Chain A
Amino acid sequence: MANKDRQESAETSGRPRCAVVIGTGIGGAGMAAQLAQARFDVTVLERSAFAGGKTAAYTRDGFTMDIAIHTSPRCDKGPIGELARRVHADLTFVRKEPVLRLILGERACSAPMKFWMPVPAIKAELAFRFSPLIAGGLLKFGLKVIRIKTLEDVKPYEGMSAAELIKADIKDPKLAATMDVMASLMLVLSTQEASAADFLWGLANWFKTANSGYPKGGYARVPYSMLEVCEKHGGTIKLGEEARRIRIEGGRVTGVETEKGFYPADIVVSNAGYQQTVALAGPGHFEKGFVRYVDGLKDSQGAVVVQYALDKQLMREMVHLYIPDGYDTDTFLESVRRGHDIEPPHLYIVCPTALDSEVAPPGKHIMYAASVVPADLAHQEATGRVLDLVESTMQRLFPDLERHTLWKVRRNIDFFATLGGRGAAESIGLGQRFDQDGKHKPDPRLPVKGLYVVGADAGGTGIGTELAADSAMNVFDMIMDDVSPVVFRTGADASTGFSSA
């Protein structure tokens, strides 16, 4: 419904419901869309000149480039699809099989993303000559994955690292390396740091849904389609305006200050990061124990990316995963921190034009290549050398690469630090680590009334951008339960559900 209709309809007569959303990443954009649709007066503050945060886009020479590198594990069947449906967003996905090509050392194999089917498993076995002894371990592990249906099912794995989980079943080093890279891809953490519960949950949903793909028009369509919904319902988006302070009086939010002015709000939802939000509010408003807990939260690792604009298609599949012989993420990260004798990186290579040709001019193609790296800016020089290694590895994997490259862009961790606004180059906000999973995950409701955190940092489960979308829906539901005079419950407790108003 157009803005005009909204103004012509009855004015608000009851409690005014103003909301300010800080940040236009997927979490913030999705939240803004839902709040605006629910008739909140929404103002969105984005500190950059462009919207979308880590899922923004830029155009150059007719190419629509993702600012970083993303693929969607579940597309319309996952949280991004569910969120888009909730707000009737203009967002579609493209997908085709096979999605993934796995390159282990010198051998490669393309298989549909349906590892529960015997055919791809056999293909992989033939290609990689896995030792027959691994069959039992892989089966055991696979069964664990298949059994995961609800969040309850991953509870027994909380507090355990993914490394422990994998080691229990998988002995073959090549397979272990593959699992290690899976964890690094999904959670941007080494398996020693990653939460086994989050790893299993992500893996189970990803493979059982078997619906990986890419948003049509580029990954930025995810946040942008949400922001379109927000504007359609009368919301305002302020680009280039940074939140300076979240004002709190009497234990509840009253609004957000920027350099340009003050925005009163009943609800403030921040996509700026958990620690950043506490800082914006002022640690003095929280108990010391809480502030200590928040300060102790650790980010995920980061990534470096090389982006190529090509005049020829060099990849048929959406994703290539290259794992050098003997690769191990923990060892690799250590070598980068050391700063010398950097190990060969694994590469996560994405070709969006293999799915959606319209993100590039006719006949042209795009490839993104990334490696995980430490997020700490102190290692910037070393990660710069990792970028060199990414380029040289790409050249080896694709001998025609240089010939067909129109231009390329290198993104080092300083770029991602600026993008994230957190002082470090983390890829997925607060890490889904074994020591901050389950009950130790941060609560999206902050101890101040009306203040919430949304995005990868809190409120959701899943992988990367889907984690953020899941958070947007869950935190919106929490806000509505808190704000609305009547709580809607489907089933169990009528007695606790309704106010005595």
Chain B
Amino acid sequence: MQDRRELSPTKINADLLNFTLKTPLWFWIVAFVLSSILGVAAITYIFILYYGLELLGYQNTIVWGFLITNFVFWVGISHAGVMISAILRLSQAEWRRPVTRAAEVMTVFALATAAMFPVLHTGRPWRTLYWAFPYDYARGIFPDVRSALIWDPSAIFTYLSSSAMFVYVALIPDLAVARDMTTGWKHSMYTVLAMGFHGTGRQWKLQTIAGILLSALILPVFVSVHSIVSWDFAMAILPGYHATVFPPYFVIGAVHSGVSAVATLMAILRKIFHLEDYITADHFDALGRLLIVVATGWLYFFLLDVFFGPVGEGATELAVWNLRFFTFPYSILIPIMIITGYLIPVPTWLFRKMRRNVTVMFWTSLCVNVGMWIERYYIIVPPQSFKEPFTFEWVNAYLPRFADWILVIASFALVSFGVLIFAKLFPIIPLFDIKEGQVLKQEIRIGRVRVPAVIRE
């Protein structure tokens, strides 16, 4: 990192625990707005429970709409945490330090939000347990374990619990600092959560080993989660879904949207918490470079799906692609997806000046997630219009209703609310990681220039 500043441990503690220890007025205003949205969503959902799923825009054959799109989208966003934390930690990328915690926290809340949608989608959420767990041992009746719909809960809850553990292990040293700087109930809470961490050599060693082990162990889970989500679709022989490229295509798309979401979040955090000394232009530069590679990988898999989907397949498969590309309203979604997901952001990120501009990074990364949400929608909804060989020969287009839109907006509010509350209770930028970065910082003199350097861990 070129743009590093000299930061004393005292300043780091004061800066990064500021929001945790003091409550500004805007916190209450934002919390109120978000809770209000969640309240409206809760009321809407009560109506859905009472009147049934007819309040959503479902059609005869199209019953996977906004709820399932939201599910896939938020599982995708949740891939940010591991991508940033685990992979960058294992590859010793220095720029990861201020970014990791926010990414991990977003993972946890995004995943919890995602997990909610299939349950809402069932219409009778109290029956979900019957499908997810074996019941009636006496008669040997079990849910079909060969169903991808059963693999999902296992993968998601494994990822959720391991991500939560990942956040917690990295949080322990910071909890100890917070414990030493607080009194009253907060002190008691941090004391319990810090589990007696006092920074002895052995404790640091265990914490470091745990972090590295979790990083390595969480990676397969990270890949498997979105692969399994993709198999929810691909395992069906429905034309448009049945494509072998779906697992890597979903995973790379998830990383694309997840890392973009981290860039958006970092820009917001930097602005509202005045973290200019910690989240610098260098971090956005690095995120931008990473995103160019990820976005291009995503485009490659998208093109593979487009090239090989129609090739050599039957008339129905061709009809699906015809619907996706050339039939309104789906036909306008593809250009929007390509433009917002790739054509606007990537050429912008090719310029270093743009990557280092926080405002540009905020808007372009936001733009990516508009494209990625549409991508989920375009993958999921159109093929369902062609279930006619099995069920119907006629079908109307899926038209989302008020309840659909409210639940989409509420999902964003829920994740934002979760991150906000977390940032209020715990430092959202890891103190110990920043301090470690300061310790490892060096300089090498080359000719007349002093080049920033780092001790290789």
Partners in one complex: no
Task: Report A's interface with B, CB cutoff 8 A.
Answer: none
